[in-house]
Amino acid sequence: MAALRAAKQALRKEIKRRVAAVTDQEKQRQSLTVSQKLFKHPKYVSCKRIAVFLSMHDEVRTEEIIKDAFKGGKSCFIPRYESKSSHMDMLKLNSLHDMETLPLTSWNIQQPADNDNSREEALAGGGLDLILMPGLGFDTSGNRLGRGKGFYDTYLERCIKHPKGKPYTIALAYKEQLCQEIPVDDNDVLIDEVLYEDNE
């Protein structure tokens, strides 16, 4: 276990260094390419209920995806992370304006406030068809390196228990986030697909 943790930590550092070297302009360009791929993806086209992360500076930008989802009449859910645990809920986003007015957390991520209980949680309703996954690193077998808190792995376990079953999962990645092989253990959930610029 200790060896695995050390391997993950070393890889996190390495990927962070690679992504930090990418210019904002290049991140924007790759993000648009990945978004365009997603818009043609049959799982995205057919999905009605989608969970999207609000991107941090080192993640593929998701604003265009959220705009497109609203334009297509999809129900959009975004994460609310609980900083003291590995618990995360996916809460309904009502509009683009709603997104712009969300409060910022100490991690500099926008999310619904802790006392905002008016929003539907995805699993309390009709579940999810598709989850777009963030992460620090990915390999082409669908292994994902997260930030080490286990939010998404824990949430996917909850999804599996929902009557609708596990949603399809697509990771959005810069090509700088791709690795030969991600070290994983039994708690790490495989991703169905990783979208990045080169995989035509």
What residue numbers does the annotated binding site cover?
A: 8-12, 54, 59, 144-152
User: In angstroms, how far is CA 55 from the centroid of its own chain?
Assistant: 8
> How many Å apart are CA 174 and CA 172, to the nearest integer?
7
Nearest Cα neighbor of 146 from 88, 64, 77, 66 is 88
Dihedral, CA of residue 55, residue 188, residue 191 and residue 104, to nearest 10: -10
Specify binding-site residues for ATP: 8-12, 144-152
For 94, counting Cβ atoms within 10 Å of its Cβ (0-12 exposed, 13-18 middle, 19+ buried), the class is middle
Pairwise CA distance, residues 94 & 157, whole Å: 26
H or E element that contains 194: strand 193-195
Residues in binding site for substrate: 54, 59
